[in-house]
Chain A
Amino acid sequence: VQPPEKPLQAEEWNRLRESFQSPEIFEEVMFNSMVRCNSSIDVAKSLLTHVAKSNGDIAYNLLVKYLALCVQQGQTSEIRDVYDIMKIRFRILESGAYNLLIRGMSNSDQWRMALTLLEEVKKIMTPSRTNYESCIKAASRHQEMDLAFELYHEMLAKDLVPTLDVLQAFFEFSRGMKGAELQKELFGILLYLRDNQLYPHKTFMQSIKLWFESIPGGNWRGQLTNIKDSGQCPVCNHQLEDSNLTEEEYNNLKERIIRDVIHGTDTFRKTSPQEFEAFQTFVENRLPFDIVIDGLNVSHIKPRRMQCENLFDAVNCLAKENARLLVLGRKHMLINSSNWKREIMKEMQNKADFFFAENISEDDAFLLYATLRSGKHCKFVTRDFLRDHKACLSDSLTRHLFRKWQRGHQISKTMFLSVFIQQPASNYDCVVQTTGDTWHIPYKDSFEEKYSYRVPRKWLCIQQK
């Protein structure tokens, strides 16, 4: 239904209501369309008056919808009125109304009211991250950075994940402000980005840059750049952190892969204890490998060719520099068939070590184990993103480690006119990083990047002169 342009009299509303197909929900539908069309609140008021007069009461959901309309148009005094009415009518309010109230009040000059509302919400449930977002933004907009940071820490303590918007607001509104404490807090946010492998988007990056450059007496200079493949920053010639894990992280990851991915709840789900043991002794006897290849994955690169030829090409291409290769496959590859020719398989086995798992076992788990066992220099080849294995890891910290290790050690292959093009594993780690007098911050071009596995190529280099 189309909401009317002007406030209507009671009988006009009645007429509209009667012409509507299901009169019971007429008011609800009308309010929804008012919110959608952003009608003037006078129209909404006239409908409310009509409802109040004919029923003697206005149902809660209509009030909430009216509230939504007021919030949408920033009608602060109306919001307050509705709040007062709700407050005396109902002993408690539910989250939907609170969300609207907090959002509405935080955008007005009575923004402190939003904080009171937040306290009220805390009494009945955990506030949502958007509740905090509104309050934090309001506080920082009014230069109350201490308050904003207090709320921010409270939010983190409740395991809520702040939006990039909130983080940006901190940089945006701290521009030009002095204070060692403030500076420490903002560096803390940058480290939060680092720990959670988050990348700011372009406008966020600009806020960070401007904040750095605005620090009084800081002499920071920021420049946009692309990092070379070697991992050197062309602006300050600083070498970025490499993608290797520390000894401790590495061992931790290795243990967790064995525990969560290979064994999981039941070793039999992915392999069997006998098979895993056989594989372990096989690997121990031949250590260390330089490259571990997922045979089946590689063999499907070119669908028109024989699968063993694909694999043969890959092995030939990688075997050049005396690298020790391990190819993982399944037993069915050994049976002479149209896709797997025995002679070619024989020839390949001269160039690389092969391990054939049972046909119903998961060879990916073996791939991870063999690579990790061989040491930090070892890389692996597969086009698989290994998402399902990452998902088996039980905590997010280990998942982050896995992603980092994967970025540094996975060689994926694309096929272009029957020539292998290696997409090399990157040498440097793509996270926010600092040396004290320099900061390097990777950023995304747009707000929504489509692929989570892609790391940004563009960087912000900030150095202190």
Chain B
Amino acid sequence: MQSANVLLKKILRSSVLPFAAQHGMKKDLFPLSRTLSLSLCLKQDNSGSPSERLDLDAWKKVMKSGLQEEDRCETVSEPKELSTLAAAREILEMWRLAGRSVPEDISEEQLKTFMECPSKSAKKKYLKYLHIKELYKKNDKRKMDEKRERRLETQKQASETDVTKRSSFICLWASSMDKAYNWRVAQSMIFGQPLVFDMSYEKDMSIREVANTVRQIVLSEGCNRRSVDPFHIHFCNFKDDSLYHKEFMKHYREAWGKLLITVTDQCYTDVFPKDKLIYLTADSPKVMKTFDHDKIYIVGSMVDRSIKTGVSLARAKRLGLETAALPLEKYLLWNSGAKNLTLDQMMHILLTLKDTGDWKKALEFVPKRKYCGFVNRPVHELKRTLNLINTLKVGKRQEEVRKQFAKNYPKKLTQK
């Protein structure tokens, strides 16, 4: 073993650095724990005597032997006091080594956000979020690279068999489609039915919720633009220096000024006659029966991760507006999940209703995990059959079914 140690020191003194760097797997650990690739020589060492007695503490020697050398070359340049940011970075690095979900790269800004997290669990959550984001990013990059490689290959093949195709259209699909879409949206800005996004929930949301909201609105705007008969979208109560605005700029950049929508800091009650407005909210006691082409529907631009019931209902109440909820229970056998839908789902549903008036088609856009299937008869009839089944059945099962039913159809609905 002594010989192994000597060998080890020798290797250290000679230039291990390039060798270790080649050793891809350990590259990440490199600054903190020098990797010494001893495998080759040690293996040779042992192979001669398989019956040799095991030295159980040999690992300690290996671990300790490397460091004295390391100390010599490293401690000199190390500043004694670390700034708090650097210290945080170091802790993160250790957590990563310990196998926690921590991102590999973290920017200065993210590090600051991390340190401002109020509690340990908040920190953990934030790190996990960054970690997962990083994983996605890496995966995407890998896929892109693969794709590029494949494309290059096919190009190569194509250039070998040099055939140019002829057609009567110049290949400008994307831009001409854009033009066609924009024409339609421009039409809708003059003649179309307005749809209002109420942008007054900023203070009810966290920064991440605002970012999610804006993302959903961008998606909705996209699908509105591509639809046959688009809405005329209004962003009401929109403040120019708000978080919403900042997030929109991130998504649209210079296209923000060219969007074919109406953005105003006025309230919808100032823009439209009050009796035409209907505020859509899942908390509404009224259930929407049909889509009215003369009304102006309002959607609250809010993502609500921490269940804040009645925020948008309160807003409508304050302004004395009519409210409505989608008839989810009437048409769907609800399974689980909240009844509030994302903004782009709302947009899909409203567009489909506008075009066809078919609830079944429209409610296809409700996520499948949230419901078991469509109800073809009204709920009260269903309830009657359920009761009948229950009275026929005796035993524990009955209570179970009743509970399940009560869960899916709360009192509010069954009372009527």
Contacts and interface: CB of A to CB of B under 8 A. Distances in A.
Interface of A: 7, 9-11, 28, 42, 45-46, 48-49, 51-61, 64, 81, 85, 88-97, 124-126, 128, 265-270, 272, 300, 332, 339, 359-360
B46 interface: yes
Contacts of A92: 87, 90-91, 94
Contact of B313 (A97, A124, A125, A360): A360
B311 A266 contact: yes
Contacts of B66: 56-57
Given A7-B56, A64-B98, A96-B98, A56 B62 contact: yes
Contact of B94 (A54, A55, A93, A359): A93
Contact of B59 (A45, A89, A93, A96): A45
A378 to B, nearest CB: 27
24 contacts: A46-B56, A48-B59, A49-B57, A49-B58, A53-B39, A53-B42, A54-B43, A55-B38, A57-B29, A57-B36, A57-B62, A59-B29, A59-B33, A59-B97, A60-B98, A61-B98, A81-B60, A94-B95, A94-B97, A266-B318, A268-B314, A268-B315, A270-B310, A272-B317
Contacts of A360: 285, 313, 317
Interface string B78-100: 00000000010011001101111
A7 B52 CA distance: 13
Q: Across chains A and B, which 7 residue pairs bring their CB atoms closest together, nearest first?
A: A56-B36, A268-B314, A94-B94, A60-B97, A52-B59, A56-B38, A45-B56
Main secondary structure on B side of the interface with A: helix
B26 interface: yes
B227 interface: no
Contact of A56 (B8, B55, B95, B415): B8
A362 to B, nearest CB: 9
Interface residues of B, number: 51
Contacts of A52: 58-59, 62-63
Given A9-B54, A10-B46, A269-B310, A61 B99 contact: yes
B398 interface: no
Interface in B274-307: 285
A268 B316 CA distance: 9
Contacts of A269: 309-311, 313-314
Contact of B91 (A42, A125, A126): A125
A161 to B, nearest CB: 13
A53 B310 CA distance: 64
A89 B58 contact: no
B34 interface: yes
Contacts of A265: 204
B13 interface: no
A160 to B, nearest CB: 11
B253 interface: no
A90 B32 contact: yes
Given A46-B54, A60-B97, A125-B91, 6 more contacts: A45-B57, A49-B58, A53-B38, A85-B60, A124-B91, A266-B314
B152 interface: no
A272 B310 CA distance: 12
Contacts of B382: none
Nearest to A53: B42
A90 B50 contact: no
Nearest to A50: B59
Contacts of B318: 266, 268, 272
Contacts of B63: 52, 57-58, 85, 89
A333 to B, nearest CB: 10
A10 to B, nearest CB: 6
Contacts of B4: 53
B31 to A, nearest CB: 10
A203 B56 CA distance: 43
A60 to B, nearest CB: 4
Given A92-B90, A97-B98, A55 B35 contact: yes
B391 to A, nearest CB: 11
B160 interface: no
Nearest to A123: B87
Counting chain A CB atoms within 10 Å of each CB, the highest count among B94, B120, B204 belongs to: B94
B341 to A, nearest CB: 21
Counting chain A CB atoms within 10 Å of each CB, the highest count among B26, B63, B91 belongs to: B63
B338 to A, nearest CB: 16
A91 B38 contact: no
Nearest to A332: B415
A380 B119 CA distance: 38
B112 to A, nearest CB: 17
Counting chain B CB atoms within 10 Å of each CB, the highest count among A7, A42, A268 belongs to: A268
A16 to B, nearest CB: 15
Contacts of A42: 56
A267 B314 CA distance: 8
Nearest to A61: B99
Counting chain B CB atoms within 10 Å of each CB, the highest count among A51, A53, A64, A360 belongs to: A53
A42 B94 CA distance: 27
A56 B9 CA distance: 12
Contacts of A61: 97-99
B64 interface: yes
B55 A49 contact: yes
A83 to B, nearest CB: 12
A53 B91 CA distance: 28
A268 B64 contact: no
Contact of A85 (B36, B56, B64): B64
Counting chain B CB atoms within 10 Å of each CB, the highest count among A51, A89, A359 belongs to: A89
A53 B58 contact: yes
A52 B63 CA distance: 7
Contacts of A88: 64, 67, 71
A51 to B, nearest CB: 7
B340 interface: no
A51 B59 contact: yes
A270 B29 CA distance: 56
Nearest to B406: A303
A58 B64 CA distance: 11
Contacts of B29: 57, 59
B37 interface: yes
B329 to A, nearest CB: 17
Contact of B54 (A49, A55, A359): A49
Interface string B303-337: 00000011101110110000000000000000000
A64 to B, nearest CB: 6
Nearest to B99: A61
B317 A90 contact: no
